[in-house]
Chains A and B, each alone.
Chain A
């Protein structure tokens, strides 16, 4: 008998549905429940990061006004804010959250191929988050070495948390990587093996493509972080000298000898740059689907979009040293990396053009998800174009370590993916819960977030061109080149940041309020073509598809097909039966 994967089983083979509350919602092996667990945990730890950023902005806008923010606290906040946002929020939310929810539903599978491994992945992720938070409570507090954790300062006694904080951070990262690898094996294998009949790779929605490629990048890039975490832990606890050069710390010889801090930088950025695309590719994919659905128009250049995702994925492994232009590298080395960095802009620009051409002359519905998707295009262009400045060595050298860099990476890999996260939550919340999110609250949330982020980050470009160095706790009057206007502008940025942070509470309130009071959504409120909107139940039940798996007959973007009765044709409508079948529920 041929092997039948769990994800492929028809109802006759299906596992028994979990009955008790615990197996249904806590120790659950259902990909949808695990996705929601991932999402809630990621949002919760993201709120910690948001709070930290507010505290940092308060210090920068109104220095010396808050006695509770000492310099060492400020550096701990920087470190934890960066690490949480990049890894524990964005990576976990896009791959663990949306990846888990969307891959089986969009591919027409009943579940991930290894549901048990999937469950373990979530609980190990939770453990990683707990170890990370635990870092705040160990003697010496959390590490304050900056999110890049550069040695030697990360484990020398001058840095906050140099003894135990850094160990917690490294242990948490290693744990996270284990969790991610378990999840990642699942996502990749599910995409390759559990697609329903008719769902060829080139019929997959771009969301799945983006998540798939990001997972591949993660599986190959996270080992670099793992390697550096292991070797740094040994340097820190057992006194090896992998990364630690001979230094004296506070007048005392440290006992380290001959290690290479640059080796750490290479390993870290060999992970760190693909990480940017681990976050960006799912955002690219999801935003493509949002734009297409809400503009009622097929995605422009689908094949090119897939190629671009693959090209970006491959190129992302050969650009890492553009984070290290000021490390004293060989100029030819810098030249090579500047070239690859500019080359990667080509497939990225293709994607941007295709998004714009997708909504060009489309029947644009300015729903909340669409607003976020369009805001993403704006923000991504803004952040991306400044990447061209920083990608060129001679321009980067003066701008390096200024607020220009801060503005660039926040817009391009902070705000842009977060806007997609919001758009995606507004878009798929109706499928997850059966209720629509409140539209008015959504619009308030959108406009304040969107305009607010520009009020925060556009001035930072200006500050960076003035030469304002980043990572400073405060800029004293004695620093001659900093004009007084900088301080006024910092106050402005802080006030804007407070508004943006506050309006996120509206969003959180909306998430909870709509669960009880939201308008019933029906099965397919956005009249979308992809499979997750064609499930017989909303929210989908365990096993997703009742008796029969769907069969796919067309690509995911049959919107406004000339001659069709409605302006969308779901993927599972056979060619001989062109009446839309999107109203199951």
Chain B
């Protein structure tokens, strides 16, 4: 059953691609001329509707969906390993979840909300608010990461080290991989902050970066919520 979960999560990625690819029934050998092109009606060659970076981000989100989906299915398979087999008994022992994780979750939600507010402030063309919300979003994310580190120490202090058992090991790996992805997001956030502080950079220059950061933040929040629910329930 867990295998089906893995397959399900990953085939969704493929199906999304499949749906993105339209017009597969064009009779390309019959129609001549350039007018069939979606972009050609928009005037100059080279003007595109969607910035490539946005497409690339969504493709990247598909990649990390695959990554986290596989981690989670590995989690289930490892958890079920030994169950049902006559000779073996599962060595899976749940670990106590540090209560600071709830605070961390709140931090990450706040981070996502403030990033969204920054994105909204770009629309209002309010530079001061963009800078404020953007900084707050980053600070909350850093607080989240710090909180995760504290959770690691608390867990180790409670006797659940990396080698204590599969549940503990998975806890470190899942939170670690998630944290690294957030760290990657923070470098882009830092670059955006530097660009905003430099000279009189206009909002339009960082509009796309802020938008993509926000989407990425929401996505990592979603991943964290799924993982947190998973960790709490097992």
Q: Which of A184, A270, A302 has the most CB of B within 10 A?
A: A270
Identify whether the interface residues of A are mostly helix, strand, loop, or mixed.
Answer: helix
Contact residues of B between 153 and 171, Cβ < 8 Å to A: 162-163, 165-166, 169
B82 lies within 8 A of A258 (CB): yes
Question: A347 an interface residue at 8 Å Cβ cutoff?
Answer: no
B178 to chain A, nearest CB (A): 13
Answer whether A263 and B81 are a contact pair too, CB < 8 Å, given A5-B52, A10-B45. yes
Contact residues of A between 180 and 209, Cβ < 8 Å to B: 181, 184-186, 188-190, 192-194, 196-203
Contact residues of A between 545 and 561, Cβ < 8 Å to B: 549, 551-555, 557-558
B11 lies within 8 A of A189 (CB): no
Question: B106 an interface residue at 8 Å Cβ cutoff?
Answer: no
Answer whether A234 and B169 are a contact pair too, CB < 8 Å, given A4-B46, A200-B23. yes
Partner of B33, one of A192, A257, A553: A553
A574 to B34 CA separation, bound complex (whole angstroms): 9
A574 to B17 CA separation, bound complex (whole angstroms): 32
A303 lies within 8 A of B52 (CB): no
Question: B36 an interface residue at 8 Å Cβ cutoff?
Answer: yes
A266 to B27 CA separation, bound complex (whole angstroms): 41
B32 lies within 8 A of A553 (CB): yes
B-side residues, CB < 8 A to A, are: 3, 6-7, 10-11, 13-15, 17-18, 20-29, 32-34, 36-40, 42, 45-48, 50-53, 55-56, 59-60, 62-64, 66-67, 70-71, 74, 77-78, 81-82, 88, 90-92, 162-163, 165-166, 169, 173, 177, 208
**A-B CB contact pairs (8 Å), 5 listed:** A186-B56, A196-B45, A197-B45, A241-B165, A553-B32
Question: A8 an interface residue at 8 Å Cβ cutoff?
Answer: yes
A449 to B48 CA separation, bound complex (whole angstroms): 47
A333 to B3 CA separation, bound complex (whole angstroms): 10
B17 lies within 8 A of A216 (CB): yes
Q: Kindly supply a per-residue 1/0 record for chain A positions 482-509, scoring 1 wherever the CB is within 8 Å of any chain B CB and 0 otherwise.
A: 0000000000000000000000000000
A193 lies within 8 A of B67 (CB): no
A-B Cβ contacts below 8 A, count: 200
B56 lies within 8 A of A310 (CB): no
A549 to B40 CA separation, bound complex (whole angstroms): 13
In this complex, what residue of B is CB-closest to A264? B74
Q: Which chain B residues lie closer than 8 Å to A313 at the CB level?
A: 14
Contact residues of A between 501 and 555, Cβ < 8 Å to B: 549, 551-555
Partner of A185, one of B10, B28, B60, B169: B60
In this complex, what residue of B is CB-closest to A548? B45
B52 lies within 8 A of A193 (CB): yes
Q: Which of A8, A203, A240, A317 has the most CB of B within 10 A?
A: A240
Question: A219 an interface residue at 8 Å Cβ cutoff?
Answer: yes
Q: Which of B26, B59, B177 has the most CB of A within 10 A?
A: B59
Q: Which chain A residues lie closer than 8 Å to B59 at the CB level?
A: 184-185, 188-189, 219
Q: Kindly supply a per-residue 1/0 record for chain A positions 1-13, scoring 1 wherever the CB is within 8 Å of any chain B CB and 0 otherwise.
A: 0111101111001
A262 to B2 CA separation, bound complex (whole angstroms): 13
B39 lies within 8 A of A197 (CB): yes
Q: Which of A200, A241, A551 has the most CB of B within 10 A?
A: A200
